[in-house]
Amino acid sequence: MVSSSPKEMNPTLYKLIEIVFGAVLVGSGAGLALSFLRQGFKLRPAHALSSVASFAVIQAIMYKVKERIKSRNAQDALYTEARAMLSKLRLEEYEKNFKKGHLTDPTLPLLTDRELQEVNIPPGARLLILDHIKRYHKMENRE
């Protein structure tokens, strides 16, 4: 019989347990330290536990915020050329359309009027975008 570790069985659950355990551990240390600073060795268990719980929650929230920021930065990295092109053409308001349609930087040379129409970009803006892409890639191929 093949046995597998809990991490291999359900990596998402394992990661969640790691996060919670880490937050409780760090929060416990911070909470106990704060309790000792406030009350010295006259430590009351109820105050210590409330400090531990508070710091654990704060630690978990900070972790989630950090993960969300990392995720956004990773997604934004896929749209640097598209964002620069839209900015140069003064069409920044269509950046959300590009993201909604997953029109990332590698897809720019493949764009046609149809794809831009599918993400609700009006005809004038579509013409400017397609012209820019055509000119940019001609210049890029010369170099």
| pLDDT(143) > 60 | no
Contact 96, 86 (CB under 8 A): no
The whole-number pLDDT of residue 72 equals 67
| CA–CA distance, 101 with 108 (Å, rounded to integer) | 12
Max CA pair span of the chain = 78
The pLDDT-based confidence of 21 (bands split at 50, 70, 90) is confident
Residue from 72, 78, 32, 69 nearest 53 by CA: 32
The pLDDT-based confidence of 43 (bands split at 50, 70, 90) is low
Average pLDDT, integer, range 66-84: 77
The pLDDT-based confidence of 138 (bands split at 50, 70, 90) is low
How does pLDDT run across 110-131, given as a tens digit for each residue?
Answer: 999 999 999 999 999 999 999 9
pTM: 0.50
| pLDDT(3) > 70 | no
